[in-house]
Amino acid sequence: MKRLFVRPELCTGCKTCELACAVEHSRSKNLLGAMLESPPPHTRLYVEANLTSHFEIFKMPMTCRHCDPAPCIAACVPQVMYRTADGVVTNVGGKHTCIACGMCVMMCPFGMIARAPAPDGKIMALKCDLCPERDTPACADACPTGAILYLEGDEFAHQSRARASAILSQAKSLREATMTQTLEE
């Protein structure tokens, strides 16, 4: 299955992903309409920032990892949270209804679940559903810098390997140049 991956070095912290996520999970599905809704739509991913030096801030959109096994599923006493056939961890569309107990909120190691009103007003556990009505989740579509990617797991790793090997290929030519010099000496 495809999953959300993040390249934090590309994140500018603009939070466009948060807006797009909230709009996608609104009733009207457009920004102007969503702004007028009550309750307001809620994002399902969060841009977090940490000061790493006096002038550098590490920014990263935090997304649900759809873990396997998933602590939120294990913690869901009424058995609302479940895994779909596509591997999406969700509490929507299953056999039972969320009672907003918040156990999943407490168990998620990444803090990716919020207890808040859904678009219909019901308080429940709100989390990423990978935008079932879209080919690509709204956050990945919206990211202006390509920091959020929606890829098969091995494709992301492949891209990382390609970048790493490109760096190493430069090292190789440098090394060869150095070796030649050494031999000439």
Partner 1 sequence: MERSISPDSILMLKTAQAGGVTTVWDRYEAQLPQCGFGETGLCCRHCLQGPCRIDPFGATGPKYGICGASADVIVARGLARSIAGGTSSHSAHAKHLAHTLLKFSRDEAPDYGIKDQAKFYAVLDRVGIQRDGKSDQELAGDLARLALDEFSEREAPPVWLKTTITPARMQKFEQLGLVPPGLDSAVAEVMHRTTNGVDADAVNILLGGIKCAVGDYTGMYLGTDLSDILFGTPTPVMASANLGTLKADAVNVAVHGHNPVLSEVILAQAEALRAEAVAAGAPQGINLVGICCTGLEVMMRHGIPSATNSLSQELAILTGALDAAVVDYQCIMPSLPTVASQYHTQIITTMPIAKITGATHIEFDEKQAGEKARQILRLAIEAFKKRDPAKVNIPPVTNPAMAGMSAETIVKVLALVNPDDPLKPLIDNMVNGNILGVCLFAGCNDVKITQDKNFVALVKALVAENVLILCTGCAAGSFARHGLLTSAATEKYAGAGLKAVLTALGQAAGLGAPLPMALHTGSCVDNTRAASIATAIANKLGVDVSQLPVVATAPEAAMEKAVSIGTWAVAMGLPTHVGVVPPVTGSPLVVQVLTQTAKDLLGGYFIVEPDPQAAAAKLVAALKERRAGLGI
Binding site for partner 1 (CB under 8 A): 14-16, 18-20, 22-23, 31-32, 34-35, 39-42, 141-142, 144
151, 89, 121, 17: CA torsion to nearest 10? -20
Tell me which residue has tokens 């998620």. Answer: 108
Residue 96 beta carbon to partner 1: minimum distance, rounded to whole angstroms = 27
Question: Which of residues 32 and 51 has its CB atom nearest to partner 1 in the complex?
Answer: 32
Which residues, listed in sequence order, are joined to residue 75 by a DSSP beta bridge? Answer: none
Residue 145 beta carbon to partner 1: minimum distance, rounded to whole angstroms = 11
Residue 31 beta carbon to partner 1: minimum distance, rounded to whole angstroms = 5
Residue 49 beta carbon to partner 1: minimum distance, rounded to whole angstroms = 13
Question: Which of residues 31 and 164 has its CB atom nearest to partner 1 in the complex?
Answer: 31
Residue 174 beta carbon to partner 1: minimum distance, rounded to whole angstroms = 34
What's at 53, amino acid-wise? Answer: S
Nearest to 128, CA basis, from 178, 92, 182, 93: 92
Q: What is the DSSP string of 44-64?
A: SSEEEEEE-SSS-EEEEEE--
Report in angstroms the alpha-carbon separations of 81 from 53, 101, 151.
40, 12, 24
Question: Which of residues 42 and 83 has its CB atom nearest to partner 1 in the complex?
Answer: 42
Question: Which of residues 43 and 90 has its CB atom nearest to partner 1 in the complex?
Answer: 43
Which helix (H) or strand (E) element contains residue 82?
strand 82-83
Q: What is the DSSP letter of 86?
A: T
Question: Which of residues 88 and 139 has its CB atom nearest to partner 1 in the complex?
Answer: 139
Kindly state the tokens that stand for 3: 């999953």
